Chain A
Amino acid sequence: MASAQPARGARTDGAWTADRLRSAVQDFVSAHDPATTDPVEFLGALFDAGLAWVHFPPGHGGLGAPRALQSAVDDELTAAGAPPRAPGLHTIGLGMAAPVLLTFGDEAQKKRFLRPLFTREEVWCQLFSEPGAGSDLAALATRAEPDEATGDWVVNGQKVWTSVAHEAHWGLLVARTGPELPKHQGLSYFLIDMRAPGVEVRPLRQATGEAEFNEVFLTDVRIPDTHRVGAVGDGWKVASGTLMNERVAIGAGAMPREGGLAGGLARLWRERPELRTPGLHSSVVRAWVDAEALRLTAERLRQQLAAGHPGPEGSAAKISFAGLNQRMSGLALDLLGEEGLGYDDWTFRRPEPDDDFSTRSYGFFYLRTKGNSIEGGTTEVLRNVIAERVLGLPPEPRTDKTIPWKDLPR
């Protein structure tokens, strides 16, 4: 692993500006031609130059610069023909593991995990949900018990709906370490080696026909204590931080005007005049307007985030993202009529790292977007989050927060 070389133009007083960063990127790409450099090498060098996430500390892929300046770096990289930041299978690594490691990880964890995560050499998955604990994540039952002899943790349990577990090298795991405590207090957070003995990943076929997600069975899996993130019993705090990042990663990605499904729908409308009806016109224009509203909201959210970490506000964008995607993909089927009756591929397969989803049929999108209002917190649960955490409305009366987890009805 190359040692971290701060980008030229770095100033000891830490005063980075968009212009200084742009010239740092220009220097970088003249030394590492994106057209001829191997992508992993390119990304590794980018990390070492502190241009991966400029707001991360030097040595960990950043420069300690204001987060708002990342967009200057990304614009400049795109202009230079660098590989796009499309995360694909790396959404969990880039969107969730990286910020969680930054906030809650220790130095050794940052050193070990951030670089291969950024170079896409290591894929991450998220082992949160269980058959008995979806929305009510804090009810989860997977146990992590200390092995006094070695200091390791020994994990047993079952996770479910685990996206990309079959590709993953590492998983973000929440497990129960204190069953005698109330449910939110008895959890701890770990980084689990998905190739370790006792980890069994089985594909779980979904409504689209393929299997993006999996069941994961954990049997006497050993995790060294150095791979625990945060204190024992602090798992809920780290998990909540992960979820905030997840909702922003899902619902507030950067996009140009007419990016995503809105662009496909607009092009379909333009290219196929014979499909047009007045009612569909009204729906298409409404969808275009709503997609723009959401895109700008996501943009504004990212501008706000420039200084800090995602709060519960990101949940609103995630709700709209799900609803709008569902509406637009359904609308495309209405527009296509007879063609909408078909389906491209029901094969039970697992997506590959470089699969291009944009070539799938609207039938696929119609089905896949149904998951958007479930994954990362259902729309109903996110409404609770906004109501209680953003608007400060009183919680529902609850009986499950104070009694020990082991005594809860199941």
Chain B
Amino acid sequence: MSAEPAADLLYNEVEDELRIPLRALLADRCPTGALLTRIESDELYDTKLWAALGAELGITGLSVPEEQGGAGAGWRETAVVLEELGRAVAPVPYLGSSVLVTAALMAADESRVLPEVAAGRRAAALAVPFSTSPGRSFPDTVRLSGSTLSGTVTSVADALPARVLLVPATGEAGPGLYLVDLTAAEDTVVLTPRRSLDLTRQLADITLRSAPAVPVALGTEAIRVLEVALTTGAALLASEQLGVAEWCLTTTVTYVKERHQFGRPVGSFQAVKHRLADLYGLVSQARAVARNAVAALDAGSPTVALEASLAQAFVSEAVVETAEAALQLHGGIGFTWEHPVHLYLKRAKSSALALGTADRHRSLVALLADLPPAV
């Protein structure tokens, strides 16, 4: 394969500057203590925090051009936001709204709803099971008749706080992607919360009964747009996972320096040090792979599907390994409900299943890199 000039895998100044106020805002409004209270409440998503990301920081539409109501930045900046949201396991619909739906609407050249979504005024969700990976056949659980949709979609991420849904459906004329306005849908759309492994990203089942819908893309175009959304989502999810892994690593390193047993910090035992050294290597690699996927997205690289699957194949396993080790190295306290590490483990494992497991992405890598299976 040819040696293309290497993508910039570092963070530029704009990205660094974006990170600072966001991290401060999350530390202030989304501390882990408050999350532990929130998960016992009925309001699992933090709508106030979401509003702050849109109205105060203006970062809900970073990838969207300014003339369409966005910030005119790009996916690189979006990825930095995801890293920080992952670090905080912040319960906001950023991945669903600012990544999955935004990518789809941009790919489809939709311009009526996109500005609202970009501004964060209307959160949006892509109505597919969160486990859906790129490269699968077009979903067929929702049917179009006339201009309304009927059917069910299970395990949808970020649907609960959404005001608008982007729904893949099939009709007489084949596949299509449709917008459903939840503020006007009344009882034609029912969202049922699902008890979810990830307490900071609760899923929902969606039932549509003749819900009024507006087409966004039809036929092969709908297939292409959905694929763009899922590939973009897979590429960027790696950055969120990187943030989760980073929190797990740094929190654990801090803890083992403080916790004493046998008259010395547990972090001075070589078994602990070596495990953390390996995790450091793993997280460094996860960062390089995640940055590579984002750089490919931002540059519109022809290999973006491969880079996205590479990122998911690697980072999904790295984040789970890091979160599992974080719990183990915290000992008994890490196993308690009061300690936030379980929130990160739940996010890590769920995110590894989301948008295709590592194994599914390895199959895609095999396909895209021409490593055919045994027959």
Instruction: State the A residues within 8 Å of B (CB).
Output: 71, 75, 256-258, 266, 269-270, 273, 276-278, 280-282, 284-286, 288-290, 292-294, 296-297, 299-300, 303-304, 313, 316-317, 319-320, 380, 382-388, 390-397
How many chain-B residues does the 8 Å CB contact rule pick out? 46
B257 and A393 within 8 A (CB): yes
Shortest distance in angstroms between B128's beta carbon and chain A's nearest beta carbon?
A: 25
The answer to the question of B314 belonging to the interface, with a C-beta cut-off of 8 Å to chain A, is: yes
Q: How far is the CB of B103 from chain A (nearest CB, A)?
A: 23
Chain B residues lying within 8 Å of A75, measured Cβ to Cβ, are 5
Nearest opposing residue in chain B for A279, CB measure = B374
- CB of B34 within 8 A of chain A? no
Complex A-B: 11 CB contacts under 8 Å: A285-B371, A288-B369, A289-B313, A289-B365, A299-B288, A300-B291, A303-B6, A384-B277, A393-B276, A396-B270, A397-B264
A383 with B273: CB separation less than 8 A: yes
Given A391-B273, A394-B265; 19 other pairs, CB 8 A cutoff: A270-B372, A273-B375, A276-B374, A284-B371, A285-B363, A289-B310, A293-B285, A293-B314, A296-B288, A300-B10, A300-B288, A317-B284, A383-B273, A383-B277, A387-B267, A388-B273, A391-B277, A393-B268, A393-B272
Pairwise interchain contact B371-A269, C-beta atoms closer than 8 A: yes
Determine whether the beta carbon of B273 is less than 8 Å from that of A387: yes
With known contacts A390-B280, A392-B257, A296–B374 Cβ distance under 8 A? no
Q: Does B3 contact A (CB under 8 A)?
A: yes
Of the candidates A257, A320, A387, A395, which one forms a contact with B1 in the assembled complex, judged by CB atoms under 8 Å apart?
A: A257
Residues in A neighbouring B9, C-beta threshold 8 A:
296, 299-300, 303
Residues of B whose CB lies within 8 Å of any CB of A are 1-3, 5-6, 8-10, 253, 256-257, 264-265, 267-268, 270, 272-274, 276-278, 280-281, 284-289, 291-292, 310, 313-314, 362-363, 365-366, 369-375
Most buried by A among B2, B272, B276: B276
Main secondary structure of the interface of A (DSSP, over half): helix
**Minimum-distance CB pairs A-B, first 9:** A387-B273, A316-B281, A256-B3, A276-B374, A386-B277, A383-B277, A296-B288, A300-B9, A394-B268
Contact A391 B313 (CB under 8 A): no
**Are B268 and A397 in contact (CB-based, < 8 A)?**
yes
**A383: chain B residues within 8 A (beta carbon):** 273-274, 277-278
Query: Would A281 and B281 count as touching, CB distance under 8 A?
Result: no
Known contacts: A296-B9, A388-B273. The answer to whether A276 contacts B373 by CB under 8 A is yes
A320 — nearest CB in chain B belongs to which residue? B281
What's the least CB distance linking B311 to chain A, in Å? 9
The answer to whether A391 and B253 have CB atoms under 8 Å apart is: yes
Does B374 lie within 8 Å of A393, measured CB to CB? no
Summarize B's interface: helix, strand, loop or mixed: helix
Bound complex: CA of A24 vs CA of B97, how far in Å?
48
Report the separation of the CA atoms of residues A173 and B107 in the bound assembly, to the nearest whole angstrom: 61
- Contacts of B274 on A, CB cut-off 8 Å? 380, 383-384, 387
- B299 CB, nearest partner CB in chain A, Å: 15
Q: Which residue of A lies closest to B281 (CB)?
A: A316
**Contact residue among A276, A317, A392 (Cβ-Cβ distance under 8 Å from B375):** A276
Chain B residues whose C-beta falls within 8 Å of the C-beta of A313 in the assembled complex: 284
Known: A258-B1, A296-B292, A299-B9. A386 touches B281 (CB 8 A): yes
Bound CA span A294–B281, Å = 10
Residue on B with the closest CB to A295? B288
Distance (whole angstroms) from the CB of A225 to the closest CB of chain B: 40
Say yes or no: B1 contacts A280, CB within 8 Å: no
Q: Could you say which residues of chain B place their CB within 8 Å of the CB of A294? A: 285
A299 touches B6 (CB 8 A): yes
Residues of chain A with a CB closer than 8 A to B265's CB: 393-394
* B371 and A256 contact, CB distance less than 8 A: no
B284:A316 contact, CB within 8 angstroms:
yes
Indicate whether A278 sits within 8 Å of B374 (C-beta atoms), given known contacts A288-B369, A292-B310, A300-B9. Answer: yes
Given A71-B6, A282-B362, A304-B10, CB of A393 within 8 Å of CB of B256 = yes
CB-based contact A270/B375 at 8 Å: no
- B270 engages A256 (CB within 8 Å): no
Residues on A with beta carbons closer than 8 Å to the beta carbon of B365: 285, 288-289
Cα A384 to Cα B269 with chains together (Å): 10
Question: A382: which B residues are within 8 A, CB to CB?
Answer: 277
CA distance A63 to B373 in the complex (A): 50
Q: How distant is A127 from chain B, measured CB to nearest CB, in Å?
A: 28
Contacts of B285 in A (CB 8 A): 293-294, 296-297, 320
Q: How far is B277's CA from A30's CA once the two chains are assembled, in angstroms? A: 49
Is B268 a contact partner of A395 (Cβ separation < 8 A)?
yes
Most buried by B among A273, A290, A393: A393
Are B314 and A290 touching (Cβ within 8 A)? Answer: yes
Given contacts A280-B374, A393-B267, A394-B268, contact A303 B10 (CB under 8 A): yes
Whether the pair A316, B277 counts as a contact (CB closer than 8 A) is yes
